[in-house]
Amino acid sequence: EAQVTQNPRYLITVTGKKLTVTCSQNMNHEYMSWYRQDPGLGLRQIYYSMNVEVTDKGDVPEGYKVSRKEKRNFPLILESPSPNQTSLYFCASSLSGARYGYTFGSGTRLTVV
Amino acid sequence: AQTVTQSQPEMSVQEAETVTLSCTYDTSESDYYLFWYKQPPSRQMILVIRQEAYKQQNATENRFSVNFQKAAKSFSLKISDSQLGDAAMYFCAYRSAGAGRRALTFGSGTRLQVQP
């Protein structure tokens, strides 16, 4: 089944404790991206990757890191999480053409206390 | 930068009736794509329908159709014969066809309730 797999689904952590949210897709998509969803704000792009070893900032990159060492994987790293990073996070992928919508992962609900 | 506006935070419709969700966008580009995504309580993001800006014909997918007005920069979603399973948050989104990061830019969403 074609899908984007995101883990974990739920995560509660403390301020300052480094964490990684994993994302993997099995569709050979070139384009991958991370979004955060907050009430009243919709989804906002954090980082994106056009292909292996090619990553760039989205609209809200502060406090996050990413890497793309393999085509299928695109982890999101929070090196020192803060309470304002409490949010619902989505990983998404697509073929490189703009006509394609994204395929989304099932989301990670992160709470930083 | 492009912006997408959904001015209806919440909408309600009776089962079997028709409802229209509004979306407007702002862009200086002529070539782009527009999408509607559905997010049910499971929080999964599901693509409902897509419209290509260079096509004048409005997209249709079963009970879902759009009214795309390029000059007015309007992209509304019509749901016919509403069903209980249509209850969800709906997001309008824009994607540039040009080179570059090609992010999906989302509106703030409209929560649709379906009354039995």
Chain A residues with CB under 8 Å of B96 CB are: 98
CA–CA separation, B51 and A25 (whole Å): 25
Strand partners, B38: B46, B90
Mean pLDDT of A64-90: 97
CA–CA separation, B63 and B99 (whole Å): 33
Q: Do A99 and B97 touch (CB under 8 A)?
A: yes
Q: Do A48 and B101 touch (CB under 8 A)?
A: yes
**pLDDT tens, per residue, chain B with 116 residues:** 789 999 999 999 999 999 999 999 999 988 899 999 999 999 999 999 999 999 889 999 999 999 999 999 999 999 999 999 999 999 999 998 876 667 889 999 999 999 99
Residues with Cβ within 8 Å of residue B78, at least 6 apart in sequence? B18, B19, B20, B21, B64, B65, B66, B67
Tens-place pLDDT, residues A27-48: 999 999 999 999 989 999 999 9
Chain B residues with CB under 8 Å of A68 CB are: none
Q: Which of B33, B3, B12, B24 is nearest to B79 (CA)?
A: B12
Strand partners, A65: A77
**SS3 breakdown of chain B: % helix, strand, coil, rounded to 5?**
5, 55, 45
